[in-house]
Structure 1
Amino acid sequence: MSPAQRRASVAAAAARTAVTLGFVALVACGPEAVPSQDAAASLAGEEIAYQRFEEYLANNVGAGEPPLGNLALSRLFDRFLDEELLIRAAVDRGAAPASASRRQAVDALVAQAASQPPNREDVHRYYVEHRESYRRPERVRLRQILVTDRQTAEKALAALESGEDFAAVSRRWSMDPAAEEGGNQGELARADLSPAFAEVVFGLAPGEFSSIVPADYGFHIFQVTARLPEQVMPEEDVADEIRDRLRRRKRDEILGSLLAEARDHYNVEIYERNLPFEYRGSYGPA
């Protein structure tokens, strides 16, 4: 091969190499993979089918509800993705197996991150700080007789005035659902009664019964069996309620913290073009 032929061969090989490298570069810099048509989002590179969100809606939106708008669907979609993030975090942290239900996975993740349950000092501190919220207004223990016509009401009142027991008269004449229990209505505050009824009832002394009180649907006769003064409920009476409240508040705090961590840790992309509604949520588009 002459020098001229050798130079031509080298040039041709170099050209072929350049073309090949250029093609490889084009492939490497080409467009990203297109998501599946049924993919609503991706979490850490794993596609989430829209069908999974439909199943979530079926389990969380009551049957017969009117069609949801874009904003409502977006908020529900965000909640769905939040749960998906928490489930992924639960599995990755070893808090729950991949086969766990949504509720089991989230509960396990919270339990793993939770500190000690509320103790006696926590309960006492909350009670002291919220003491006024446990103030109960004046109440009465009330019985009633309810009938549909005045004639029957007058018979019942006459029986009471003759000395018959109120509970017995209630069982005989009253149409109230509590008649078999002697007309017992439990403990009631003024706010639990209409203004007209409250004026009558709170004017009665313990053991006293009212005259006939007309209403749109019938006629009442009331009896107050006891008056209970305004009081602040003792701490021991509300300790269980406070403990439950503190547990729920702590759970909400832990969930908020775990979700913020998961949002930072896992990449979530929304495929808005694949959604049958206009997405207005808090996650960014793909």
Structure 2
Amino acid sequence: MLEIVRNHRRLMLFVLLLLVFPSFVFFGMESYSSFMNNANDAAKVEGRVITNAEVDNAMRMQSEQMRQALGASYDPRQFENAETRRALLDGMIQERLIANEATRLHLTVSDAHLQEAIMAIPAIAQLRSADGKFDVDGYRQLLGAQGMTPEQFDARMRFDLSTQQLVRSIAATDIIPASLIDRLIAIRDQQRVVQAVTYKPADYAARVTPDEAALKAYYDGHAAEFAVPAQAKVEYLVLSADSFAQGVTVTPEELQSYYEQNKKRFQTAEERQASHILIVSPKDAPAADRAAAKEKAAKLLAEVRANPASFAEVARKNSQDPGSAEKGGDLGTFGRGAMVKPFEDAVFALKKDEISDLVETDFGYHIIRVTGIKASETRPLDAVRAELEKEIRTQKATKQYGEAVDQFTNTVYDRSESLKPAAERLKLSIQTATGVTRQPNPALGQSPINNEKVLAAIFSDDVLKNKRNTEAIQVGPNTLVAARVAEYQPATTRKLEDVKDELRAKVVAQEAAALARKAGEARVAALKQAPSDEGFGAPLTVSRSQAGDLPGAALEAVMRADTSKLPAFVGVDLGANGYAVLRINKVQEGAKPDAARRQADIRQLEQIAGQSQFDAYYQNLKSRSKVQIIRPATAPAEG
């Protein structure tokens, strides 16, 4: 069916226009627009729409970036959920508002700054060849693969750089006084000497004997703890580029051709080591001064040509370049693009140990000697064979995957009563997963079924009740999944009679923890009336950055405690771990940070203050802007 649409696009466009146009006549443009918004829009910022498709794309990009960064430890459930989706939508709203403000303030960047930023991108910097020429065609191809022209990319980069100006200018406005910095560092590093005693629930468990009424009360009040979620046995198919890669072959001819096309990637640019003698003469200096400088440089040139071995000594005595003179004029090794053009042209025109004529630049007059040449090298095919074979295999597999996507999508939809037709057509294996629940199941690990979008489709009415295939769902780059329910078990609640032992353990633990808490609270009250160190453990020195053996809640209570009168006592409920009573014996200053640590602390505090300043600015900007969340981003968009 979809193949007919694809092969007759003009005809189908005409038919669609005939169907859609009357809807404007009968229902009005506003109603139609409202319907489309409700279906496809996530938010509006000052009248501009952020679509669910844009949020979906951002989700996919972030998930793929994390997959590449984490490798085998990547868990899609951490990055493909409602919280991540909402955070991404919030970020997109923020980006739109900041961009609007940058436009309103007429912020822009110079052409030079734009070019510098673009050339700092590694993938683009690689397009400059060893001779300094830029591969314009390669640049266009690189951007074309991302769906952009150079003009569009320039505009986007210029826009991004201008918004960064606004963000940096706001974040840099908060200045922290040195006295406050010292106070914050002192508070952070302050140490407190404490002793602890813990009242453990296990010591009180023997006192608890729950009766039937107590068990029933707990069961009725905590029914969710005994619920068994709906589960399904699921059959599914996975279509991925990786599966095609296993069957791809790479011929020697293909490998050689691909190597020749990508040879520039494996070339190292020619580098040269040079020394120079500089007689300073700025280009705006009086003519007489420039003539005198040139005359002096000419005499030095004659001297080193008469005795080349004296070059380093002459440079030490006469060169006016403070950075290289003491090193005999040595500038080290460099490639093209590192020096001003007249100097570079002269260096790369010389042979080893050859001395140049006078070279004039904006700095003055140079005498240059090339002391070493590191020729451009190209890694041979054998050295990069495995890398290139992998790339070719991936490209072929991706192409095969792209050709199979429509077949897979159409077949699982048109033959929704079974996955077998799609499996047979594309030579895929039907896989099975048990214990599939509405929420990701840790037992299923990184199975493609354990994906929120797939699970939402599996437990939808159409799939569950009508026993149909799900649609083809993208779960990662070049990866589609389709599934169907083979067996289904509705949600149930375990009966009280079946969970009595579990109930008894829970009630005992709950009551024992309450007794431990009561005993601990009584001890704190008594100690405040009559301080004592009886029963406490060995003294422990702690700080906000050094907790020692103290649990986090206990450390927080210790550092928050009023220490105007010592010893001071605090109590902390540790839940199932009991109740801690803490005696604070002493408060002392921590070691003062050295200069490097202090500077790092200052930078961190300034970053925190800057972020706080920006957050306040953004909240104010948001409050005075028109922002509308049309569809709460609680789940990935369907379809």
Same-fold status (TM-score > 0.5): no
Q: What TM-score do you get using the length of structure 1 for normalisation?
A: 0.43
> Normalising by the residue count of structure 2, what TM-score does the alignment of the two structures yield?
0.22
